[in-house]
Structure 1
Amino acid sequence: MSSFLSRIMVGKSKAHFSAGANGRSQSAPGAFQGTRKRRGNQARNRVVIMIGAFSIAYVVIAGRLVQYAMISDDTVASIGRADNLMASRPDILDRNGEVLATDIRTVSLYAEPHKIVDADEAVEELSTVLPNLNVTEIYNKLKSKSRFQWLRRQLTPKQQSQILALGIPGIGFRPEKRRFYPGGATASHVVGHVNVDNRGIAGMERYIDNQGLADLASVGMTSDARLEPVRLSIDLRVQNILRDVLMGGMSKFKALAAGGVIMDVHTGEILAMASVPDYDPNNPAAGAEDGWMNRMSNGTFEMGSTFKSFTIAMALDSGKVSLKDSFDARFPIRIGGFTIKDFHGKGRVLSVPEIFQYSSNIGTAKMADLVGIAPHKEFLTRLGLLSRVPTELPEVKMPSQPREWKKINSITISFGHGVSTTPLQTAVAGAALINGGHLIEPTFLPRTAEDAEASSTQVIKKSTSDDMRFLFRWNGINGSGKSARVPGYNVGGKTGTADKVVNGRYSADHNFNAFLAAFPIDDPKYVVLTFIDDPRSESGRAAIAGTTAAPMVHDLISRTAPLLGVEPKFGTDGSALLVSY
């Protein structure tokens, strides 16, 4: 029985395996293969998804980086655009290529108040590097709710290094450009200066901005760009001598101010112009009290007897007066309650050269009266003495004149009272008297003689200019201009001592002195004008132009003429040589 059951169990087992081979046992390998394929597909999908996710993340990050690089800075009241901070300005050079103004790189200190941990501690640490820091102001900035505040502009490299070493969170630096003036105050009123944002606000710096530089900088077109330098007509050597002479004169005569100009009579180029007190454009705030005033072009004064040059030129040019004529100067002129008399009257009839030499108010007034009121006004207008002088400097003041010209006005204006002009335009008009009669607009930029001739205006006859050169030479030898004579250079000119108005009245104890000169007067190349405001003599009394302004011209010409290429001439015909043993 047991063997039978054993055979049955073996048979079932064989049948089971046989059925499995024909049924389920044949499908098992396919099931295993499907599972592996499904799992492989899932793995690949996961990898693809992960790659896609990482790719999207990187694309987002890259996109944000590009976005941050392309967008403009936030605009707030306390910060300008980065392009503006780094905007370039052209160098300013003198006529010989010497640098008058240039850009240097610097940094400025800023704070992000929302990142400041302890404002008190930050202010205390910053004060160790910046001792003159306004503690209250800086503390208020650090405690403000803004996200940006300037703390100090234009630091030195040493200050930057010391502040970095403090390690204050929320403090940083931004690169900027700072304007630097190697000559300091030497040509401050001509060159001008810029503000903290490197924008021109005075002098030729402002002129350059007005020519389009400011517009280019506002749209970022000058950022880190190398710009062509701007060359001026100024000669730095001559400019330095002029300022030195003016400073010496102001100190010697205890004056309020002084000024001077040297101009080429054939081109109108200004070789030097200065007004003192002045200021250092590297630190313009220090000169704010009195130094910013450019008295040469932006101040008007009654120029005194220098105006007699224009009155006599008018009389000669009208044809009603010649050098051979004479005028009775024995008696004062009484008109409109005023008495016109001579300072050093001769009490006799004077020739025209003597009227110029002795600076006769009476003789000059009679010449003006002979010409007439309307022609007098027209002549001064023709010489540019009654209008704003056209030039590149922004600081140019309009001269003053009477609202209505009457006889009394014409008479007083004839000898320099009643019309106030700028010293610069007086020099420009003076150049027209001795250069052949051509009025040439002054310029602080280089100009050729051909360009000047093309734009000049004939304002007086050549014969009148010849006569005026004779009178200038005559006065330089025999009159009040003797103290300006320089051996070999034939200096001619006219002094002017004008009483200043004090409390509404002319005061004989306060003078404005000027000297209008040209050299070499036989063939003029340069016109020179100096003035000194309220000078004092050694005794403390008011000093006259012949002892103040004229000697300044002497010092100026003796030092600058060789630099300007003017050769001295000695002897009656100019052929003698100066020999020193």
Structure 2
Amino acid sequence: MTMTLTDRPDVFSRPAGAEPRGEPAAVVAKRKQDQTRNRVLLAILAFGLVYGIISARLVMLGLTDPADAVARGSAASAVATARPDIVDRNGEILATDIRTASLFAEPNKIVDPDEATELITSVLQDLDATALRKKLSTKAGFVWVKREITPTQQAQIHDLGIPGVGFLNENKRFYPGGPAAAHIVGLVNIDNQGIAGLERTVDERGLSDLHNAGFAMKTNSQQPVQLSIDLRVQHVLRDELVSAMQKYQSVAAMGVMINAKTGEVVALASMPDFDPNAPVDANKPDRLNRLTAGTYELGSVFKSFTFAMALDSGKVKMTDSFDARSPIRVGRQAIHDSHPQARFLTVPEVFQYSSNIGTAKMAMAIGSQTQQEYIRRFGLMTKLKTELPEVASPQVPKRWSDVTTMTVAFGHGIAITPMQAAMADCALVNGGYLFPPTFFPRTREDALAQATRVVSQRTSDEMRWLFRFNGVKGSGRHADVPGYVVGGKTGTAEKVANGRYVEGHYLNSFLAVFPMDDPQYVLMISVDDPKPEKPGMPALAAWNAAYVAGNVVRRSAAFLGVQPRTEQESNPDAMLVSY
């Protein structure tokens, strides 16, 4: 029989537990006992080391000033704060985070506060040396010296080698467009927390809670916040408003463009504005967002609502006429026309010549109660609901007499925000649907789900015709842009100061809609207290606000995808047939 190597147990294997040949059992037992002892000692040493570290840390924390711990916790929280990018509808960045260094000190480790103060202020010369010396002379464990210093300043202070001084990297908000969309985006404070505009809205919608829970540590871990704003149109709008202030020497100018079919805000600018990267002027009274945070008597722009309610109620027809031969006497006052025709005027002519007399009589025909009902229906008696936190409440008459009914009809005695007017006029041209405005993308379906029907389709069609008629034959001629079928309404309102109207000082507005055969966008432009462009020229809305609106349409329509077309008819009356 043949035996393989694996069949030889004496060479390659032995029973388990058997001692090697030639080694006594006592030696093996002693060796195992020594191994067990060594393992026990090693485990004791490891546990002792862990508990020693824990004990030392507890002693250290016990000796630490609680105020120092709070300061360090606050600093860590500030450093951890990160915000998502804010982008326009095309993905262009409106706001983003960048990393910047901040200088801190640990006073309990500073050897010579006087020397440290002198060295630091030699680089950061804007610091108050007395206050800094006092801060560094305490026994605190952590204090901020200066937040958000430049890389050059960081390098210079680092080279000084001051004991007890260090740097922390923080998130700083940066706005690539500077003031381009300042009143929309808003700004943040030194701790990168939103305090105005949509930056504040983002915090209120849950970002601050994420920060407090520690789930917003890095910017790149957060999805960008997309707005409905088109940055290209925003630049055009702001540029035209800046030019208008210079050209007409006005104290302010404002404008907003809205998608008439969805209620999305495409562009909004209020001048003068501020740079959110250096917001030293942000809190000045003249820098408020006038579109939503300011209320104004808008004058004849308000007449569009009077016409809509009169036609929609059925108490006035397009074929009716009103006697405008003489002013309406109300006590010692008189309601008169700026461009009197001294004759009976048809409804389109009342709109064309912006007749206060005709509009007042139209309001009396429908009555005070119906007027108030429609104004409330148009959203002009309550605070506008929008994502911007800066929103003012309208100022409405406390007592509604016949005189009030007549003056409110042409925009006197009631002050609303320009955004409210723009949104209500969207409803007059889009088929009768009033949308809440939004600064975030919204589909037509979503818009209709939130809409309120305020006038009929027929009334909307008639209002579109009136706007276009005025854009061709009335005060809106200077806003007409060939190929884009622009319609609209001017408004020249005397400004109120100390409860009295000031003659010669106006808030001029123009409400533009384009294209009128299928309204896509509504544009509201206002110029505050403009001067005549040239001596002898009028300073009325048709001569400034209308021109600004026309320029914005001309420059932005292509960005919005509105294609120019050739009107076959030269007479706007022909448009009524297509409606």
Q: Please indicate the TM-score interval, normalised by the length of the shorter structure.
A: 0.7 to 0.9
2:176 paired residue number: 182
TM-score, normalised with respect to structure 1 = 0.86
1:488 paired residue number: 483
Q: Give how far 1:66 is off.
A: 7.8
Distance change (3 Å), C-alpha of 1:81 and 1:115: closer
Q: Distance in 1 between matches of 2:286 and 2:510?
A: 23
1:547 equivalent in alignment to 2:538: no
Residue 508 of structure 2: SS of its match in structure 1? Answer: strand
**Structure 1, gaps ≥5 residues long:** 1-46, 575-581
Give 1:403's aligned amino acid.
Answer: K
Q: Give how far 1:78 is off.
A: 8.6
Give 2:158's aligned amino acid.
Answer: L
Q: Give how far 1:494 is off.
A: 0.3
Residue 273 of structure 1: SS of its match in structure 2? Answer: strand
Contact 2:423 2:435 (8 Å CA) reproduced: yes
1:86 equivalent in alignment to 2:80: yes
1:568 paired residue number: 564
Q: 2:325 aligns with which of 330, 338, 361?
A: 330
Q: Distance in 1 between matches of 2:542 and 2:131?
A: 54
1:59 equivalent in alignment to 2:33: no
1:152 paired residue number: 146
2:224 paired residue number: 229
Q: Give how far 1:252 is off.
A: 1.2
TM-score, normalised with respect to structure 2 = 0.87
Q: Give how far 1:289 is off.
A: 2.1
2:516 paired residue number: 521
Contact 1:264 1:525 (8 Å CA) reproduced: yes
Distance change (3 Å), C-alpha of 1:205 and 1:105: same
Q: Distance in 2 between matches of 1:533 and 1:513?
A: 6
Residue 283 of structure 1: SS of its match in structure 2? Answer: coil
Matches within 5 A, 1:22-37: none
1:172 equivalent in alignment to 2:166: yes
Contact 2:114 2:133 (8 Å CA) reproduced: yes
2:9 paired residue number: none
1:339 paired residue number: 334
Q: Distance in 1 between matches of 2:536 and 2:294?
A: 26
Q: Give how far 1:110 is off.
A: 1.1
Contact 1:266 1:435 (8 Å CA) reproduced: yes
- Bigger-Rg structure (1/2): 1
1:314 equivalent in alignment to 2:314: no
Give 1:486's aligned amino acid.
Answer: V
Give 1:159's aligned amino acid.
Answer: Q
Give 1:237's aligned amino acid.
Answer: R
Q: 2:381 aligns with which of 386, 394, 409?
A: 386
Matches within 5 A, 1:100-115: 100-115=94-109
Q: Distance in 1 between matches of 2:474 and 2:114?
A: 73
2:20 paired residue number: none
Q: Distance in 2 between matches of 1:78 and 1:137?
A: 20
Residue 187 of structure 1: SS of its match in structure 2? Answer: helix
Percent sequence identity is: 51
Residue 364 of structure 2: SS of its match in structure 1? Answer: helix
Contact 1:194 1:200 (8 Å CA) reproduced: yes
Residue range with higher mean Cα deviation, 426-435 or 290-299:
290-299
Contact 2:67 2:140 (8 Å CA) reproduced: no
Matches within 5 A, 1:64-83: 74-76=68-70, 80-83=74-77
1:127 equivalent in alignment to 2:121: yes
Per-residue Cα deviation, 1:210-250 (whole angstroms, up to 9, x for no partner): 11111111121212261111100000111011110111101
1:446 equivalent in alignment to 2:441: yes
Residue 195 of structure 2: SS of its match in structure 1? Answer: coil
Q: Give how far 1:497 is off.
A: 0.4
Distance change (3 Å), C-alpha of 1:358 and 1:48: closer
Distance change (3 Å), C-alpha of 1:555 and 1:146: same
Q: Give how far 1:52 is off.
A: 8.9
Q: Distance in 1 between matches of 2:160 and 2:414?
A: 63
Give 2:90's aligned amino acid.
Answer: N
Contact 1:73 1:81 (8 Å CA) reproduced: no
Q: Give how far 1:345 is off.
A: 0.9
Q: Distance in 2 between matches of 1:519 and 1:51?
A: 85
Q: Give how far 1:61 is off.
A: 4.8
1:294 equivalent in alignment to 2:289: yes
Give me the CA root mean square deviation. 2.6
Contact 2:234 2:269 (8 Å CA) reproduced: yes
**Structure 2, gaps ≥5 residues long:** 1-37, 571-579
Residue 266 of structure 2: SS of its match in structure 1? Answer: strand
2:360 paired residue number: 365
Contact 1:88 1:222 (8 Å CA) reproduced: yes
Per-residue Cα deviation, 1:20-58 (whole angstroms, up to 9, x for no partner): xxxxxxxxxxxxxxxxxxxxxxxxxxx999979965663
Contact 2:84 2:96 (8 Å CA) reproduced: yes
1:213 equivalent in alignment to 2:207: yes
Per-residue Cα deviation, 1:342-373 (whole angstroms, up to 9, x for no partner): 11111111111111111110000000011111
Q: Distance in 2 between matches of 1:296 and 1:91?
A: 25
Contact 2:281 2:287 (8 Å CA) reproduced: no
Q: Give how far 1:534 is off.
A: 0.8
Q: 1:253 aligns with which of 240, 248, 257?
A: 248
Contact 1:356 1:475 (8 Å CA) reproduced: yes
Q: 2:193 aligns with which of 199, 209, 215?
A: 199
Residue 410 of structure 1: SS of its match in structure 2? Answer: helix
Contact 2:271 2:287 (8 Å CA) reproduced: no
Contact 1:122 1:168 (8 Å CA) reproduced: yes
Q: 1:503 aligns with which of 498, 505, 522?
A: 498
Residue 513 of structure 2: SS of its match in structure 1? Answer: strand
2:468 paired residue number: 473
Distance change (3 Å), C-alpha of 1:561 and 1:66: farther
